[in-house]
C-alpha cells in the first residue's frame, strides 16, 4: 500500500505522540517479513526519539529516558552497556500504523504493538509484507543492509536533474521499472510512478537510457510534484490506508491514469490503457505518452 507519501503522512501523524514516550511493553502477532531481531522485553524502559523516514522506511530511535525516576524500574539496562538503537519499520503492501490512547484488543491482523506510557502504536498488516526490525543504529546491521540500496530522497537538493539523468542512463530496461526500483530516486511506487510518467508525458515502455536530459528533468519534476501533491492530501487510500488517527487519503480521486483502465484520459479523452511491466500493472495514456 504505502508509497513514500503514505509513509510520510504516517510519520507526521505519529511523531508528536511518540517523541518522549517510554516503552512499557511490546506485543507481537504473527511473524512479519523479518524477525524483530531482539527479545521484545529488552525494549522496555527506552524512550522513543524523533521518528524519521528514509524512503518507505520509518526509523524510531530508542534512547535513554532523560527524565529519570517516575517509572517503576526501567528494565532496559540490558547486559553490559547497550547504548540504545531503534526500530526500523516498513509497511509493506498492506500495512498501516495507528495510535491508540487506549488500545482495544488486538485483531487478527494486528501484528505489532509498541505500548508506551502515552499510548500504543499498533501495526496492522493483513499480508504481512511489512516488518519491524531492531537495529543498534541506522548505520549498523541490519538497518544498514536494508537501506544501503536506496537511491536519493526525492526532495534532496543534491539530486539534480543532471544526476538523475545520469542514473537513468545506467539502465536499458523500461523507465517504469527503473522508477520502481528506487535507485535513481526513492519513493515512487506503482501509483506515483504511473502518475509521474503521465505528467512528464513519457511512455512507460521507453528504455531508461533513451530518456533525454530535458525529459529526465521533466520526469524528476513530475516525481517531486506528484509526491508533494499526494502528501498534501493525505496520500492515496485505495482500500485501507489511514494515517495513525484514522484519516483516509484523497489522492486516488485525482489520479490521472492509475486505476483508470478504459476510462477517458482527463487530458485527451483517449481510453487509458493497462499493461503489465515487471509483474506490475502500468496505467498510461497512449496518446499523451506516445514517446
Interface map 189-228 toward DNA (x if CB under 7 A): xxx----------------x--------------------
- Mark the segment that binds DNA (CB under 7 A) among 20-28, 161-169, 223-231, 278-286: 278-286
Examine the residue annotation and report whether 153 is marked as an active-site residue of this protein. no
Residue with cell 517516575: 70
Q: How far is the CB of 61 from DNA (least distance, A)?
A: 20
Q: Which is nearer to DNA, 8 or 23 (CB)?
A: 8
Examine the residue annotation and report whether 3 is marked as an active-site residue of this protein. yes
141-160 binders of DNA (CB under 7 A):
146, 149
Q: Which three cell numbers stand for residue 77?
A: 539496562
Q: What are phi and psi of 197, to 5 degrees?
A: -65, -35
Q: Which is nearer to DNA, 12 or 280 (CB)?
A: 280
Q: Are 124 and 131 in contact (CB under 8 A)?
A: no
Q: What are phi and psi of 41, to 5 degrees?
A: -65, -25
Q: Which is nearer to DNA, 46 or 59 (CB)?
A: 59
Task: State the number of CA atoms in the 13 A half-sphere of 150 facing the CB.
Answer: 18
Q: Which is nearer to DNA, 208 or 289 (CB)?
A: 208
Task: State the number of CA atoms in the 13 A half-sphere of 166 facing the CB.
Answer: 7
Interface map 15-54 toward DNA (x if CB under 7 A): ---------------xx-x---------------------
Q: Are 9 and 251 in contact (CB under 8 A)?
A: no
Q: How far is CA 146 from CA 1, 6, 59, in A?
A: 19, 19, 12
Burial-class residue 42 by CB neighbours within 10 Å (0-12, 13-18, 19+).
buried
The pairing of strands 131-135 and 85-90 is antiparallel
Question: Which one is catalytic: 6, 8, 11, 56?
Answer: 56
Using CB under 7 A, which of 67, 68, 73, 279 touches DNA?
Answer: 279
Burial-class residue 170 by CB neighbours within 10 Å (0-12, 13-18, 19+).
exposed
Q: Which is nearer to DNA, 63 or 209 (CB)?
A: 209
Examine the residue annotation and report whether 2 is marked as an active-site residue of this protein. yes
Examine the residue annotation and report whether 142 is marked as an active-site residue of this protein. no
How many whole angstroms separate alpha carbon 261 and alpha carbon 253? 14
Q: Are 48 and 116 in contact (CB under 8 A)?
A: yes
Q: How far is the CB of 258 from DNA (least distance, A)?
A: 7
Q: How far is the CB of 171 from DNA (least distance, A)?
A: 4
Q: Which three cell numbers stand for residue 182?
A: 528506487
Q: How far is the CB of 59 from DNA (least distance, A)?
A: 13
Q: Does residue number 94 form part of the binding site for DNA (CB under 7 A)?
A: yes
Q: How far is the CB of 27 from DNA (least distance, A)?
A: 18
Query: What residue ranges bind DNA (CB under 7 A)?
Result: 1-3, 6, 30-31, 33, 55-56, 90, 92-94, 108-109, 126-129, 146, 149, 170-174, 177, 180, 182, 189-191, 208, 235-241, 249, 278-281
Which active-site residues does the annotation give? Answer: 2-3, 56, 280
Amino acid at each position: 500500500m504505502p508509497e513514500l507519501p503514505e509513509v510520510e503522512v504516517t510519520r507526521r501523524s505519529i511523531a508528536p505522540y511518540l517523541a518522549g514516550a517510554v516503552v512499557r511493553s511490546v506485543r507481537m502477532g504473527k511473524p512479519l517479513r523479518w524477525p524483530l531481531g531482539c527479545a521484545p522485553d529488552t525494549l522496555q524502559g527506552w524512550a522513543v526519539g524523533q521518528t524519521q523516514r528514509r524512503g518507505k522506511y520509518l526509523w524510531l530511535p530508542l534512547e535513554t529516558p532523560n527524565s529519570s525516576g517516575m517509572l517503576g524500574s526501567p528494565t532496559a539496562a540490558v547486559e553490559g552497556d547497550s547504548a540504545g538503537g531503534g526500530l526500523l519499520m516498513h509497511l509493506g503492501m498492506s500495512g498501516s500504523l495507528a495510535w491508540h490512547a487506549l488500545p482495544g484488543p488486538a485483531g487478527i491482523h494486528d501484528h505489532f504493538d509498541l505500548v508506551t506510557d502515552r499510548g500504543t502504536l499498533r501495526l496492522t498488516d493483513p499480508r504481512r509484507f511489512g516488518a519491524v526490525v531492531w537495529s543498534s543504529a541506522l548505520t549498523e546491521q541490519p538497518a544498514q543492509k536494508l537501506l544501503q540500496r536506496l537511491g536519493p530522497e526525492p526532495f534532496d537538493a543534491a539530486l539534480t536533474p543532471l544526476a538523475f539523468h545520469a542514473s537513468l542512463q545506467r539502465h536499458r530496461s523500461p523507465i517504469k521499472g527503473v522508477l520502481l526500483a528506487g535507485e535513481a530516486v526513492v519513493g515512487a511506487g506503482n501509483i506515483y510512478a504511473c502518475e509521474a510518467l503521465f505528467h512528464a508525458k513519457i511512455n512507460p515502455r521507453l528504455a531508461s537510457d533513451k530518456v533525454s536530459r530535458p525529459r529526465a528533468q521533466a520526469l524528476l519534476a513530475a516525481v517531486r510534484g506528484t509526491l508533494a501533491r499526494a502528501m498534501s492530501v493525505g496520500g492515496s487510500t485505495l482500500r485501507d490506508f489511514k494515517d495513525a488517527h484514522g484519516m483516509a487519503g484523497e489522492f486516488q480521486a485525482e489520479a490521472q491514469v492509475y486505476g483508470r483502465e478504459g476510462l477517458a484520459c482527463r487530458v485527451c479523452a483517449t481510453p487509458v490503457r493497462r499493461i503489465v511491466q515487471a509483474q506490475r500493472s502500468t496505467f498510461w495514456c497512449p496518446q499523451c505518452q506516445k514517446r
